[in-house]
Amino acid sequence: MKYFTRKRIRRIYEWRGEPVNFNRKLKTYEYSSLAISLEDLPRTTIINTGQHIFIEGEDEDNPYVAKVVKLFGDESGEQKKAVVQWFCRVSEVPQSKLKLLGREPHPQEIFYYQARSCDEEVDAESILRPVQVKHLDGATPFPDSSDKETLYVKLSWNTKTFRVVNSALVEGFLSPPCPKPSLPPSPPCLPVAVTPASRGPARRALPTPDLAVMLRAASGEVRYSRATMSAGKASAMEVESLHSVTKLSASKCLSAKRRNASAGTPGVRKKLELNSSERNSLTNDDILNELLDEELELAQRLSSSPPQTLPLAHSLTPLRKAHRPPDIGLKTSTIVLKKLSIAEMESPPSRDESCSPQQGGELPSGSVKTPKRRNGTPRRSYTPRGQKATTPSRKKEPKTLKEPGLGVLAEVDNENSPMLPDAVTPRTSKRKSAQLVSSRIRKQLNLLDNHQDLNSDSENEDEFIPSKKELQSSSEDEGGDEVFDSDEEVVAKKGRHAGSRTPRSKQKSRSSTRTPRKTPNKKMAPGTPRTPRHATPSIPSRSLPARQPANVLEEARTRLHVSSVPESLPCREQEFQDIYSFVESKVIDGTGGCMYISGVPGTGKTATVHEVMRCLEHAAEMDEIPPFHFIEINGMKMTDPHQAYVQILQKLTGQKATADHAAALLEKRFSNPAPRKDTTVLLVDELDLLWTRKQNVMYNLFDWPTRRHARLVVLTIANTMDLPERIMINRVASRLGLTRMSFQPYTFKQLQQIIMSRLNKVKAFEEDALQLASRKVAALSGDARRCLDICRRATEICEHSAADPSATGLVGMSHVMEALNEMFSSAYITAIKCASVQEQLFLRAVIAEFRRLGLEEATFQQVFVQHQALCRVEGLQPISVSEGLSVCQRLGSCRLLLLEPSRLGILQRVRLNVSQDDVLYALKAD
């Protein structure tokens, strides 16, 4: 981060020569070459198109390699951008894939990068210096030259396979297809996100990958078919959000920063695990040694003279040094060392990630967000803490116990005993550090001569970079961890509240332990207590396994259960096709859009969409289409419409936030451009539940896809066809657009086909039985669920009716009939038949009174008169008013009658809840 400001001070980029041509549409000038010069240094470096260059990554040693395809900027010339063709280094390729290479990769080797999923447009100002790239034919061996400035290309890498690449591509000037350059261009942010952990150690460590990790990596690979290399860079999009977030508050910006690091995609994680595994293989001694001399370094730096403290400040951040021209000898040397230490520092999180038990427990479960949440962790312990654990320092002890997921909640344990649940942390310490930091930030900002204004939204990065620097330096004199804590602390803003409810937390102890009544229970308020982080939602598993279906009927029953996912969805081919092509097209040309799907319940809306998604994801794996996220939310599964933001954010990035914070973040995410971002497909089920008075939730959902950089496809599902017209205000409805589709209720043929396909070949039903069921349902609702339930019930009836369970025949008409009766016949008539004499009398009295009044309503008093009369007729002794009331209210309680509140006594009005004919019929019958 800090590097930007540094750069502003130290390096000057300018175009050389006149623009080659001018793009009217985008108002961009294209240049042939770019001059990079260092201020107060004479020599300048010239970058021409077609030249190979280093683009800075976090790891100074091996920055990204690319070939300039095009250089361009806007009229003002402020924004300089370059379109490049990426190469990727050995270290960027996951170990698992390196196997495909079949040989030991040469350290100097790079691969021609051919994955769609990362965007070729970078900020020119992130260019470091030219580099020499040689193309070698597959056969020729690598010349072992020691200079790091020459790299060798043999193969191309497309995240799946290595292919031989022809020299023309590499050396030649023909440029690969590149997207329109976008303005305003993104700030140069690529490097930030790539966690150096991914590289530095990877090479230094003894390469002994352990199986588990490989496996995990592989699984991760399958789940997200995306370039590992893209990992680092894709996460750059997070940085976008970061920039604007800063306007919220200093702390927020910290949190954002924290997030960027965390927001890495599985790629990062995989790498972490990989080298982490290797780190494990390191002996403690190694670690210790490294530690020692790095601390030595620190000590030196601290003690050293002012001019040196500044570089020192950088030195903690892996970001930049390498592009410092080599002639600044002394610095570089220190830098290298520093870098080592950094690399050191960064490995531990990944280490305990791979070894922490909770981790093990979590990973297999394939939900999209789990791995991502993991990613949150590495940033946590950038401090040497990890290794320190091995050293006798008590202070750091708990850190190793910590499960990555709650790095957030860390510090705590410094003060109180490790065995406390993490939520129990007394927040004071954190809060202190947070304040400390923010105060420092403020101080720093004011110090900065060029940006005085705290709240200026412009130049966000400048706002917090110094702070960052400050942090770093401060971090040294405070034993290193505090600052990072504060970082995390902010992210875990809500996390802090966790402490506030947990019984043993210090400042709240009185309120929470003795008198829980203190704890407020406002929903959604950031103040609400949170689930302890270590809690993993799970149902205990059963001791002895579920019994498998024994006979045909049971088999049929399991197949007919609504939950059982069929091989294919019959009768919805057309809809399937439409949705598929809709989504596919959007994904392929990286645009966004909305689709509205309606249909009565049980017509397979959600099922179809899921089917589509399954297919598309498979296609993505096969690499037929670019990879994409699939996220699903359901209006009924949240407690209030605004939770939608929270859930989306969580599923997208795995981070938790309050509703409005989440909204802000998503807004950023979808409105700002980011390189190497891939499409998100969002399924919104039960849309109507997201209705709010101002409809802002719906509005956003439909507005984001229209953004240029959003790459968001929204599929919405609801029951009613005219929902947009009925409940949406115009600006929402118009954004929803006209791509709509309605699922018709199933016809009886379709229902029949569905059952057949479910049953496939299991012969359990007679033809006409099925037909009866499906016809009946089609006539009533066309709800597939009903039909399946009926058939299931029928099988049961059939089973019970059979003399001995072994010899059960097919399910016949009679059984289905019985099932239908059970489910559809209203119980009113039987209820009346079974009612007691007085109750029946009372019903008759009601009808008689209605007849007399010619109304459908009468007071109890009036009815009671009739009742008495009827009693006399029937020769029963008349009942008292109280008894009459109790009879009446008994009828009311099972809703044969509708009554007014009972405190009206004999004045309460009585109405029938059944048709008079039904009553009479029921009474006639016996």
Partner 1 sequence: MMSKRKVKDAHLPVGECFTELQRILRERLCHQQLPDKPVGLEAQHKNLLELLKRTAVHGESNSVLIVGPRGAGKTMLLKCVLRDLLEEKEVHKNLLQVHLNGLLQTDDRIALKEITRQLHLENVVGDKVFGSFAENLAFLLEALKKGDRSSSLPVLFILDEFDLFAHHKNQTLLYNLLDVSQSAQSPIAVVGITCRLDVLELLEKRVKSRFSHRQIHLLSSLAFEEYVERVRTQLSLPDDFPDGKFAEDWNDSIKTLCEDKSVEDVLQRHFNSSKDFRSMQMLLMLCLSRVSVAKPAIKPADLLEASRLCFADAKANMLHGLSILELCLIIAMKHLNDVYEGEPFNLQMVHNEFKKFLQRKSNSMYKFEQPVIMKAFEHLQQLELIRPADSSAAKTQREYQLMRLMVDNSQIMEAMQKYPQCPTDVKQWAMSAFG
Partner 2 sequence: MTALLQHPGYEEEKLQRVADQIPCREVQAGTLLSLMGQPEQCSFPSIFIYGHRATGKSHVMNVLLKELELPHATVSCVECVSVALLFEQVLLSFFGGDSASQLPRSPSLSDFVRIYRQQCSQSAAKQTRYIVMEKAELLRDTDANLLPALLRLRELVEDNVSVILLSEIVWDKFRPNTGCFEPILLHFPDYSKGELHQVLSQDRHPSYSAEFYSSYINILLGVFYSVCRDLRELRHLAALNFSKFCEPLEEGKAKESDTHKLWKNIEPHLKKAMQTVYLREVSSLQWEQMQEMEEQETKTMRGLSAHTHVELPYYSKFLLIAAYLASYNPARTDKRFFVKHHGKIRKTNFLKKNEKTSNHLLGPKPFALDRLLAIFYSVVDSRVAPTASIFSQISSLVTLQLLSQVSHDDQLDAPKYKCAVSMDFICAISRTVNFDIVKYLYDFL
- Residue 906 binds to partner 1 (criterion: CB under 8 A): yes
**Sole residue written with tokens 């079974």:** 834
- For position 401 contacting partner 1 by CB under 8 A, the verdict is no
| Cβ at position 902, least distance to partner 2 in Å | 4
If binding is defined by CB under 8 A, does position 534 make contact with partner 1? yes
- Identify residues 666-705 at the interface with partner 1 (CB under 8 A): 686, 689
Site for partner 1 in 483-502 (CB under 8 A): 498, 501-502
Q: At what angle do helices 329-355 and 306-316 cross, to 10 degrees?
A: 30
The answer to the question of residue 833 lying near partner 1 (CB under 8 A) is yes
Which of 772, 789, 798, 845 binds partner 1 (CB under 8 A)? It is 789
Q: Which residue has the tokens 């020459």?
A: 150
User: Which region, judged by CB under 8 A, interacts with partner 2, from 143-151, 424-432, 592-600, 893-901?
Assistant: 893-901
- Please count the residues of this chain forming the interface with partner 2, following the rule CB under 8 A: 20
Please say whether the dihedral angle defined by the alpha carbons of residues 734, 738, 739 and 744, taken in this order, is positive or negative. Answer: positive
Phi/psi for 174 (5° steps) reads: -75, 130
Cα–Cα distances (Å) from 831 to 917, 923, 924, in that order, read: 15, 11, 14
Under the criterion CB under 8 A, does residue 513 sit at the interface with partner 2?
no
| Single residue of 775, 890, 909, 911 touching partner 2 by CB under 8 A | 890
The distance from CA 906 to its chain's CA centroid, rounded to whole angstroms, is: 61
Q: Are 909 and 892 in contact (CB under 8 A)?
A: no
Are the CB atoms for 30 and 104 separated by under 8 Å? no
To the nearest whole angstrom, how small is the minimum distance from the Cβ of residue 905 to partner 2? 6
Among 51, 114, 341, 647, binds partner 1 (CB under 8 A): 647
- 650 within 8 A of 372, measured Cβ to Cβ: no
| 514 binds, options partner 2, partner 1, none, Cβ within 5 to 8 A by partner type | partner 2
Q: Which stretch binds partner 1 (CB under 8 A): 456-464, 472-480, 546-554, 619-627?
A: 546-554
Residue 638 is a binding residue for partner 1 (CB under 8 A): yes
Q: Which is nearer to partner 1, 27 or 800 (CB)?
A: 800
Q: What's the CA gap between 64 and 869, in Å, rounded?
A: 99
CB of 542 to partner 1, least distance (A): 5
Question: Which candidate, 131, 125, 262, places its Cα nearest to that of 190?
Answer: 125
Window 180 to 199, contacts with partner 1 (CB under 8 A): none
Which of 365, 446, 825, 886 lies at the binding interface for partner 2 (CB under 8 A)?
A: 886
Q: With respect to partner 2, which residue has the nearer C-beta, 8 or 890?
A: 890
Q: Is 546 an interacting residue with respect to partner 1 (CB under 8 A)?
A: yes
Q: How far is the CB of 234 from partner 2 (least distance, A)?
A: 46
User: Contact with partner 2 (CB under 8 A): which of 161, 902, 913, 915?
Assistant: 902
Instruction: Report which of 733, 596, 675 is spatially closest to residue 265, judged by C-alpha positions.
Output: 675
The answer to whether 348 touches 385, Cβ cutoff 8 Å, is: yes
* Site track 593-632 with partner 1 (rule: CB under 8 A), x = hit: -------xxx------------------------------
Q: Quick one: 578 or 900, whose CB is closer to partner 2?
A: 900
Residue 403 binding partner 1, by CB under 8 A: no
Q: Where are the beta strands (DSSP E) in 32-126?
A: 33-38, 44-48, 52-55, 64-74, 80-89, 109-113, 121-123
Choose among partner 2, partner 1, none what residue 329 binds, the Cβ cut-off being 5 to 8 Å by kind.
Answer: none
Selected binder of partner 1 within 449, 880, 901, 924 (CB under 8 A): 880
| DSSP code, position 569 | -
Please give the structure tokens belonging to residue 772: 């009866």
Backbone angles phi, psi at 129, to 5 degrees: -165, 165
Closest approach, Cβ 411 to partner 1, in A, equals 20
On whether the CB atoms of residues 170 and 150 are closer than 8 A, the answer is no
Distance of alpha carbon 171 from alpha carbon 859, whole angstroms: 98
- Closer of 733 and 879 to partner 1 (Cβ): 879
Instruction: Report the alpha-carbon distance of residue 58 to residue 49 in Å, rounded.
Output: 24
733 CB neighbour count, 10 Å cutoff: 19
Q: By the 8 A CB rule, do 922 and 902 touch?
A: no
Partner interacting with residue 171 (select from partner 2, partner 1, none; CB below 5-8 Å by kind):
none
For residue 207, the minimal CB distance to partner 2 (Å) is 57
Among 19, 135, 25, which residue's Cα sits nearest to residue 70?
19
Please choose which of partner 2, partner 1, none residue 901 contacts, taking the beta carbon within 5 to 8 angstroms, the exact cut-off set by kind: partner 2
Residue 301, C-beta contacts closer than 8 angstroms, at least 6 positions apart: 308, 309, 312, 315, 334, 476
Please report how close the Cβ of residue 879 comes to partner 1 at its closest, in angstroms: 7
Choose from partner 2, partner 1, none: what does 283 bind? Cβ within 5-8 Å by kind.
Answer: none
Residue 694 near residue 573 (C-beta atoms within 8 A): no
| Other Cβ atoms within 10 Å of 400 Cβ, number | 19
- Return the number of the residue (399 or 605) whose C-beta is nearest partner 1: 605
The single-letter DSSP state of residue 30 is E
Residue 831 lies near partner 1 (rule: CB under 8 A)? yes
d(CA 638, CA 476): 45
516 counts as binding partner 2 under rule CB under 8 A: yes
Element of type H or E holding 740: strand 740-743
CA distance 38 to 188: 18
Residue 181: name the closest of 105, 69, 315, 280 by CA. Answer: 69
Residues 725-744 that bind partner 1 (CB under 8 A): none
Residue with tokens 């919405």, as numbered in its chain: 716
Question: Binding to partner 2 by residue 878, rule CB under 8 A?
Answer: no
> Looking at 532, 570, 737, 812, which residue binds partner 1 (CB under 8 A)?
532
Other C-beta atoms closer than 10 Å to the C-beta of 503 total 14
* 518 near partner 2 (CB under 8 A): yes
Residue 598, beta-bridge partner list? 718, 742
| Helices 369-376 & 266-281 angle (0-180, nearest 10) | 60
Q: Are the beta carbons of 489 and 434 closer than 8 angstroms?
A: yes
Is residue 100 near partner 1 by the rule CB under 8 A?
Answer: no
Q: Which of 336, 889, 911, 916 binds partner 2 (CB under 8 A)?
A: 889
Site membership for partner 2, residue 369 (CB under 8 A): no
Q: Cis omega before residue 601 (within 30°)? A: no
Min dist. Cβ of residue 876 to partner 1 (A): 7
**Least distance in angstroms from the C-beta of 532 to partner 1:** 6
> Interface mask (CB under 8 A) for partner 1, residues 441-480, using x and -?
----------------------------------------
Tokens of 312: 């020192």
Of 16 and 534, the one with the shorter C-beta distance to partner 1 is: 534
Q: How far apart are CA 398 and CA 385, in angstroms?
A: 10
Cβ atoms of residues 530 and 494 within 8 Å: yes
Taking CB under 8 A as the criterion, which residues in 552-591 touch partner 1? 554, 557-558, 561-565
Contact set for partner 1, span 357-396 (CB under 8 A): 365, 367
In whole angstroms, the minimum distance from the beta carbon of 681 to partner 1 comes to: 19
Does 515 engage in binding with partner 2 (CB under 8 A)? yes
User: Rule CB under 8 A: is residue 66 a binding residue for partner 2?
Assistant: no
- Looking at residue 106, the DSSP 8-state letter turns out to be P
Q: Which does 694 bind (CB under 5 to 8 A by kind): partner 1, partner 2, none?
A: none
From the list partner 1, partner 2, none, partner contacted by residue 518 (C-beta under 5 to 8 A by kind): partner 2
Does 519 help bind partner 2 (rule: CB under 8 A)? Answer: yes
Q: Position 171: which residue type?
A: E
Binding residue (CB under 8 A) for partner 2 from 268, 899, 910, 919: 899
Closest CB to partner 2 among residues 99, 518: 518
List interacting residues with partner 2 (CB under 8 A).
514-519, 881-882, 885-886, 889-890, 892-894, 899, 901-903, 905
